[in-house]
Amino acid sequence: MKILLVTAPYQYPHQKALRTESLGQLYIAATLRERGLEVSIYDPTMGQPLKTADGYYYGVPFDKLATIFQAAGPDVIGITCNNVYSLSGTEFVARAAKSCLSKNIMTIAGGVYPSVYKGRILAECPSIDYAFQGESETALADFLCAGNLRPGDLLSVDGLIFRSNDEIKVNDKRHFIHDLDQLPYPARDLVNIRAYMNMKSTLYGLGTKPTLSILTSRSCPNQCRFCNMWLIHGKTWRPRSPQNVIGEFELMVNKYDVQHVFVMDDSFSHDPERAKTICAEIIRKRLRFKWNTPHGISVRKMDFELAGLMKKAGCINVCVGIESGSEWVRNELMGKGISNQEIAHAVTCFKKAGLPVCGLMLLGYPGETEDHFKESVAFINSLPLSLITASFVFPFPGTRLYDQLCEEGIIAHSFNPPLDDYLEPVFLPPGLQRNRLKQRYQRLLKGFYLSHIGQIAKEVILGRAKWITGKGIRRLLGS
């Protein structure tokens, strides 16, 4: 059986969308290949985006897609639909496959959109036959290897979304891969990996040299009310063993000459002993590359030894999801479960180890008052952070926040505003006007940069703060 995995094209407001290789797609490809299926990948979003009336199109015209499909001659098209922008692109790819190959070709979608919006993927994409929710390596491989399943059998396929007598059925997603070491490494050899490596999509100063991404663990132990990551990866943190992770780092260095690595985990250091072993092995094996943790790192059990090992192993900065400097807002409202003391301790460990820390902040959480905001600013200004970034709350479907706001009648179930880069509020909590919220953004950033100016200047001089650009600071202060 021949499978062609395709990334859904998308429309995006900006010319420079952040792009990296899709680890999910590469994991799926590697797993299907291991099961004996013939797999190829086509990513139409990789070229120069095309200017359109309302932004930029990251994709290719129909003719180009048709030529690729005819050359590949697949039996199944598997489409990665990672966000709301890629919905029409998902239908476009499936429709193109059905019209230029055969109307019987099987089209399957997976990724963030079906994981979050479930049955809507089939309701909105008539050319899609099936979709899978969440982590799908094993579920998809089992499904394809099972051959022709009878309609009754479909009900037992984990996380499957399908049509039955014109009705859309959504099976629960129950199974998550317990032992991630069983998975093959992402099939980077099936794509033009150099093109991704040289994309120059930067995250916190890395990405300027040949760059790859890695996931050393999946999911996270926290249950933030604004997060829906667990719909994809479940609620339990699942680590890969240090040996398995080191094997992938060795491959990245020896085969691909990687220089920068994004450790994309949601919680790299949840098990500090595992993280220490990984760092110690990078050092012992003299694997030389720079890395960072753009999606945050667990602060709960952080200690100086781990911070020091990370630094020695090539880590150049870390991000910490602080969200709010008010413990009450962070824990009672947002449900994060991390104390100010744990944050301060971790940031101090990193600082002592010479690792700059970026605090990730969230503004406009419903229930946060002006007093909470002032408390938040005071705490943030007291920490030895090197940078903060702030986003406005976006109530994603599938989050406890979204359900609460729907229940309270504050948003409708159809709430689906365009998702941008979080720099413009898409949701206003009751009682807070847009201009007040935007003022808070400016007050937070200005306050931070003014109170940390000495430290930032020192880090710029020491060359540790390549993520802080003159343009960035001017934009923040001028906005």
Provide the binding-site residues for ligand B12, judged by CB under 6 A. Answer: 10, 17-18, 20, 22-25, 27-28, 78-80, 82-83, 108-112, 115-116, 132, 135-137, 140, 215, 227-229, 232-233, 264, 266, 295, 396, 419, 421-422
Residue 296 binding result from ligand B12, ligand SF4, none, given CB thresholds of 5 to 8 Å by partner type: ligand SF4
Quick check: 89 binds ligand SF4 (CB under 6 A)?
no
Closest separation in Å from C-beta 228 to ligand B12: 5
**In the complex with ligand SF4, which residue's Cβ is closer, 229 or 456?**
229
**In the complex with ligand SF4, which residue's Cβ is closer, 41 or 224?**
224
Q: Which of residues 309-368 bind ligand SF4 (CB under 6 A)?
A: 321
Residue 140 binding result from ligand SF4, ligand B12, none, given CB thresholds of 5 to 8 Å by partner type: ligand B12
Q: Nearest Cα to 450, choosing from 393, 381, 398, 383?
A: 381
Quick check: 135 binds ligand SF4 (CB under 6 A)?
no
**In the complex with ligand SF4, which residue's Cβ is closer, 45 or 293?**
293
Between the alpha carbon of residue 11 and those of residues 51, 108, 122, the distances in Å are 10, 21, 20
Closest separation in Å from C-beta 399 to ligand SF4: 9
Closest separation in Å from C-beta 412 to ligand B12: 17
Q: Which of residues 199-238 bind ligand SF4 (CB under 6 A)?
A: 220, 222-224, 227, 229
143 with 135: CB under 8 angstroms? no
| Three-state secondary-structure class, residue 388 | strand
Q: Give the side-chain half-sphere CA count within 13 A for 159.
A: 30
In the sheet that holds 50-52, the strands lie side by side as 10-12, 55-58, 50-52
For the residues of 20-79, what is the DSSP string, one character each?
Answer: ---HHHHHHHHHHHHTT-EEEEE-TTSSPPEEETTEEEES--HHHHHHHHHHH--SEEEE
d(C-alpha 366, C-alpha 254), whole Å = 49
Helix axes 137-145, 23-34, angle to 10 degrees: 40
Closest separation in Å from C-beta 266 to ligand B12: 5
7 with 25: CB under 8 angstroms? yes
CA dihedral 316, 320, 326, 327 (to 10 degrees): -130
For 123, list phi and psi in degrees, rounded to 5: -65, -35
Closest separation in Å from C-beta 221 to ligand SF4: 7
Closest separation in Å from C-beta 268 to ligand SF4: 11
Closest separation in Å from C-beta 320 to ligand SF4: 10
One-letter amino acid at 36 equals G
Q: Which of residues 263-282 bind ligand SF4 (CB under 6 A)?
A: 266
Q: Give the residues lining the site for ligand SF4 (CB under 6 A).
A: 220, 222-224, 227, 229, 266, 296, 321
